[in-house]
Amino acid sequence: MGQFDEKVAIVTGSGGGIGQAYAEALAREGAAVVVADINVEGADRVAAGILAEGGTAIAVEVDVSDPNSAKAMADRALSEFGGIDYLVNNAAIFGGMKLDFLVTVDWDYYKRFMSVNLDGALACTRAVYRKMAKRGGGAIINQSSTAAWLYANYYGLAKVGINGLTQQLSRELGGMNIRINAIAPGPIDTEANRTTTPQEMVADIVKNIPLSRMGQPEDLVGMCLFLLSDQAAWITGQIFNVDGGQIIRS
């Protein structure tokens, strides 16, 4: 028996990295998981792994920046599993991200980036909230980052937006018994991080982390499960740092 038996969870960007860790953990706790990603091969691999371990999962292709694609994802969850209880908005452009300044980044690239990293969370929320409400409520997690409190060009700006979106939506969704919170990871050791962030930059960041190491995807799983669970039934509109002590904020 798991704490999420008979629950249905969608995890976007779960074809690898942090999203994969979330999807696998939810499946271990009994949830039927929609492994949603624009990377179909990755989504298929993660869903197959969950099935091999005795869990329940399907792989669904989604472009979170496209409201029609987000709606199709939600409709597939409904047709396969009968409803939606949880949404984890984890999808983002990060691996291979251009390292550039806000004042010089190519405008079309910037708009595409923000359409995924910020607007995508709203598009997916809009696609699922009515279905959650029909089940009596639900819970949503947005993936933020400690970049929201540091200089991190347009990546940081997108995460500031995610935090604001989380707070604003908590007011709109609370009356439907839908909770929404955000997790703000510090630097996490994923393939995307290793291939995007210069390692000398990573080393400098780690020097200033009180717990003196990078995080692992598994370090975020406990917060994800807690925020989706009934233990967090009176928590909404909050941003939780999981960062080894990197950020102190009031």
pLDDT digit string, tens, across residues 41-55: 999 999 999 999 999
Query: Order of strands, edge to edge, in the sheet holding 86-89?
Result: 56-61, 32-37, 8-12, 86-89, 138-143, 178-185, 239-242
Task: Answer yes or no: are the C-beta atoms of 22 and 91 closer than 8 Å.
Answer: no
Residue 145 scores a pLDDT above 70: yes
Query: Is 155 tagged catalytic?
Result: yes
List the Cα angle 43/49/50 in 5-degree steps. Answer: 90
pTM: 0.95
Tell me which residue has tokens 């039927």. Answer: 32
What band does 223 get if pLDDT is binned at 50, 70 and 90? very high
Question: How much is the average pLDDT of 90-105?
Answer: 90
Q: pLDDT at position 250, please?
A: 64
Q: Determine the distance from the C-alpha atom of residue 184 to the mean position of all C-alpha atoms in its chain, rounded to a whole number.
A: 10
Structure tokens that stand for 121 in this block = 């969370």
Q: pLDDT at position 200, please?
A: 79
From 22, 86, 110, 155, the catalytic residue: 155
Task: Answer yes or no: are the C-beta atoms of 67 and 90 closer than 8 Å.
Answer: no
